[in-house]
Amino acid sequence: MKLRNIAIIAHVDHGKTTLVDELLKQSGSYRENQRVAERVMDSNDLEKERGITILAKATSVVWKDTRINIVDTPGHADFGGEVERILNMVDGAIVLVDAAEGPMPQTKFVVGKALKVGLRPIVAINKVDRSDARIQEVVNEVFDLFANLDATDEQLDFPILYGSGRNGWMARAPEGPNTDGMAPLFDLVLDHVPAPTVDDGPFRMIGTLLEANPFLGRMITGRITSGTVKPNQTIKVLSSDGSTVEQGRVSKILAFRGIERAPIELGEAGDIVAIAGLVKGTVADTFCDLSVDTPMQAQPIDPPTVTMSFIVNNSPLAGTEGDKVTSRMIRDRLLKEAEGNVALKIEESEDKDSFFVSGRGELQLAVLIETMRREGFEIAVSRPRVVFQRNEATGELMEPIEEVLIDVDEEFSGVVVQKMSERKADMIEMRPSGGNRQRLVFYAPTRGLIGYQSELLTDTRGTAIMNRLFHDYAPYKGELAGRRNGVLISNDAGEAVAYAMWYLEDRGPMMIEPGWKVYQGMIVGEHTRDNDLEVNVLKGKKLSNVRASGKDEAVRLTPPIRMTLEKALAWIQDDELVEVTPKSIRLRKIHLDPNERKKHERLREAGAA
């Protein structure tokens, strides 16, 4: 059967996964009466809850006697490592662009990678039925983007389709016809995307996606570059430096058929398949015939920019809510994650009780923490820190800079510019983006953006949209002002009492509720001033035999600040940790004992002096 391999790439929320739903529907992948979930490719719980794609996934449809393998990719810059890898597997890309928003930072990032690999993209202008659509301007912006990314003349001559993924149609003109469904897109893929190039020689394949299957064990997905592979065939795995990782037998070969995977008897060059049976081979390794000695080189991956410490939970409540608490369990889980996710880097500390986990951004690390807590892990995590580098020529300290694009109502643009300048950001561009909105573009240090998302939404009453993308390393920009308020710290262990909390309300907003368990050194609220304050939230009401009217009225408390995981990670300071368990998210000081805290404070001040 004829083959085509394509990826769908776009910015977050531009409609990739919805488009894949329609392609599957209209290609006859489902039965007439089959019940299908919305955004069927977003299969894991976190993807469904957040409405975003986190992992790249492959599917396959048949159109006019040609099998089209489609890879759905994430749109968030934090998961860019997923996109960089899958570009090895495909021969073409559909670049999906929102008809109102136009090309955004992530579009630029992925298209740049795709053009570098030599892919000839198809541009699909999605959501043309939006009331604020500006179709012709967006087409011009896409052309300018391609030109800025040094596209070849052949790549600049890209075909354009217009349509609405949600309504299930694409056409050569913005006004339709919208009666042909997705047929124009399928036909264009067959005409424009070349058939997979196949090399001569024995079986070779680069591992691109790794997953654990409960029945088949470890499964590696990739595109077969040359030769064929059969079940029970003995193959070997070569690492990028040419050393043999392992030799083993292929137990099963699965190919994508719609959203299901079916076992096949022969994997042929050019097809995207999943191989089971090998226990050590991982992403970027070469899976090959025993006669092959030289590995294939995978695409280089951009380096991580943010790091966090994952520490064994040592609070007084450790082990009460989760069942996976030891350093060995945490280490095994992190190493397993790093195998499949090439954008993550794990380092063990000398004391073996903490691990430094580096990734592309807070969201990527927060998703990892959330996944672990749902699996029953208890950990303490530090504030995200940026990964600095030294300039080899001058010895100067370099820090990661991000390109930040903020769409905001005109009335709030002043406060956004002010807050970004406080965070050492340089404004590059400011222009109207239609509908009384402004588009602001900044180059800002990554460490200045940690925790800015929630502050931005508060400043702009929820109307701003922020997108960010790693730009480059630049000289260190100096100290940044951190959180201005201190914290309220519990001075004893027990259960919080409403009466005590009511008396502390003028000290600052609380983060706990009556009846919650607290311990010495745990953060229970935010102080109204800039210093930390130890408080007693356990003090009950003195009982006496004198009853006066009005004395025993119910205590009414102000609702506490609700801390989500991302909010907590951004809010804490360097001497604080977030304790994450399957049931709770608590904030605490690194040193729970007050004397220990004072000692470290004095040492820090002496070091600074």
Annotated binding-site members for GTP: 13-18, 126-129
Q: How is residue 120 annotated by DSSP? A: -
Could you tell me whether strands 92-98 and 2-10 are parallel, antiparallel, or unpaired per DSSP bridges?
parallel
Are 69 and 256 spatial neighbours (Cβ–Cβ below 8 Å)? yes
Residue 405: Cβ within 10 Å count: 23
Residue ranges of the binding site? 13-18, 126-129
DSSP track, 197-230: P-BSSS-EEE--EEEEETTTEEEEEEEEEESEE-
Rounded CA gap, 377 and 366, in Å?
14
Residue 497 neighbours by CB under 8 Å, 6+ apart: 514, 537, 538, 539, 540
How long, in residues, is the chain? 609
Q: Which two tokens stand for residue 138?
A: 């967006």
**Burial tier of 215 (Cβ tally within 10 Å: 0-12, 13-18, 19+):** exposed
Q: Which two tokens stand for residue 431?
A: 């222009």
Rounded CA gap, 258 and 260, in Å?
5
Helix H, strand E, coil C: the string for 154-202 is HHHCCCEEEEECCCCEEECCCCCCCCCCCHHHHHHHHHHCCCCCCECCC
Whether the ω angle into residue 177 lies within 30 degrees of 0, i.e. cis, is yes
Q: Residue 580's closest CA among 378, 320, 329, 371?
A: 378
Query: Cα separations (Å) of 477 from 19, 88, 272, 366, 400?
Result: 42, 37, 46, 26, 10
Q: Is 5 helix (H, G, I), strand (E, B) or coil?
A: strand
Rounded CA gap, 73 and 559, in Å?
40
Are 23 and 185 spatial neighbours (Cβ–Cβ below 8 Å)? yes
Rounded CA gap, 467 and 135, in Å?
21
DSSP track, 375-398: TTB-EEE---EE--EE-TTT--EE
Amino acid in the structure at residue 447: R
Q: Which two tokens stand for residue 365?
A: 């690390």
Q: Which residue has the tokens 């986190």?
A: 54
Residue 413 neighbours by CB under 8 Å, 6+ apart: 430, 438, 440
- Virtual torsion, Cα 520, 524, 530, 532, nearest 10 deg: -10
Rounded CA gap, 56 and 345, in Å?
19
Q: Which residue has the tokens 């965070």?
A: 423
Q: Which residue has the tokens 């914290």?
A: 487
Are 360 and 79 spatial neighbours (Cβ–Cβ below 8 Å)? yes
Rounded CA gap, 490 and 511, in Å?
12
